[in-house]
Amino acid sequence: MTRSLPAHLGSRPAAAALVLALGLALATTLGAAAPASAAGATLDDPVGDTWGPGLDLTSATLRNLDHRLVVEVAVDRAVRGDLVVSVDPRHATGVRLVSKYRPQGHTHSFVLAGAFSDGGDGRSSRVTCRGFRVRWSEGAPTARLVMPARCLDHGRYGALRFAVLTERGSDTDWAPDGAAASPWVPRG
């Protein structure tokens, strides 16, 4: 004996299609069908809002990956200047990723202890961070900073927030405008 579906469900193929569509929609909503992606945040900054000569920020993106932190900073033009990315973890001391960019010459990049929000006198010690690297692209013009997770609180951190400062003798530009730092970016 073959059982038939109630009239409001229509035919078996139509009912099967409906169940499949609802199942896929639910799985996508719950994230079961999508691969995990790294959390990130982007700060946009208007061109021409600098306080003097130097690097004019246009955007900065932080990706808080499991094993490394990646920051991509875009500037209006690749000119001489210092780039400082303050990285602040919840409930721990942060770091500053520094790159003293020189278009003609040698660029020096290093990690300093203490985020902007950690206070202090501004004189921080360098953090030994094997694997920290910075790549500048004059054509784009962008800087890509990559820091292994172990260089920040021995890799024992979760959410981060960040801010970007450029300098050339004194402060030149800041992102985010009107705020101390970005929203919290979960690790992932």
Q: pTM here?
A: 0.78
Same domain? 87 vs 164: yes
Do 155 and 128 lie in a common domain?
yes
Pair 20, 81 in one domain: no
**In terms of domains, do 83 and 162 share one?**
yes
Q: What is the pLDDT of residues 137-176, one digit of tens each?
A: 988 899 999 999 999 999 999 999 999 999 999 999 999 9
Give residue 68's domain range: 39-175
Q: Are both 75 and 111 inside the same structural domain?
A: yes
How far, CA to CA in Å, does 147 sit from each of 46, 58, 94? Answer: 27, 22, 13
pLDDT band at 10 (very low <50, low <70, confident <90, very high): low
Residue 187 lies inside a defined structural domain of this protein:
no
Residue type, 117: S
What digits encode the pLDDT tens for the residues 92-110?
999 999 999 998 889 999 9
User: Taken in order 151, 57, 54, 163, is the CA torsion positive or negative?
Assistant: negative
Q: Do the domain assignments include residue 62?
A: yes
Strands (E), 7-55: 39-44
Answer whether residue 182 is part of any domain: no
Q: How many domains does the chain have?
A: 2
Identify whether the C-beta of residue 37 lies closer than 8 Å to the C-beta of residue 188.
yes
* 88 plus 65 within the same structural domain: yes
Look at residue 188 and tell me if it is in a domain. no
Q: Specify whether 102 is located in the same domain as 151.
A: yes
